[in-house]
Amino acid sequence: MIQGTELNTVTAQKGVFIRNKTQLDIFDLTTNSGTKLPFHYFRLYSTLPVRSLNKRPVLMAESQRNEVEVLKTVLFKTKKKNISSGYIYDPENDNNSLILFCSENYGNRYIVYFFYGYDPMDLTQVLNKISDL
């Protein structure tokens, strides 16, 4: 678990996802990465504009495991190019954990960083500490 100043990419769970060739809104986890992530694929889609978000379409990510929703989050653009942030809610511990989606290869590949237990509202520290993006 990541706590405050311990934050770095070594402690984050990392997975590499590639666009599915038949379902273009689905991204599948590559076999050699991210085995500790709570999901092995995600669906990425746009929703209708939300008033509080300047009437822009909102990008969403969602996933299920064993028919149970394990990821559903709005993705917000960050100050770093091609990086969006969201969160995963853990009902057992009643907290949110930060998740970053880093787009590569014109959106055909994503590197996902999952910071378990780290407050998703403290993005500045996270973005400053990630050195390999």
- Two tokens at 17? 């996802």
The answer to whether 99 and 113 have CB atoms below 8 angstroms apart is: yes
Dist. CA 131–CA 78, nearest whole Å = 15
Model confidence, pTM: 0.81
Q: Is residue 128 part of a domain?
A: no
What count of residues does the chain have? 133
Q: Is residue 102 part of a domain?
A: yes
pLDDT digits (tens, 9 = 90+) for 75-129: 988 888 888 999 998 878 888 889 999 999 888 999 999 988 887 777 877 777 6
Q: Is residue 3 part of a domain?
A: no
Long-range CB pairs of 74-80 (<8 Å, 24+ gap) are: 75/101, 78/123, 78/127, 79/127, 80/127, 80/133
Q: Is residue 70 part of a domain?
A: yes
Mean pLDDT of the chain: 81
The answer to whether 84 and 101 have CB atoms below 8 angstroms apart is: yes
67: left (phi over 0), alpha (psi -120 to 50) or beta: left
Domain range for 44:
11-122
Q: Is residue 35 part of a domain?
A: yes
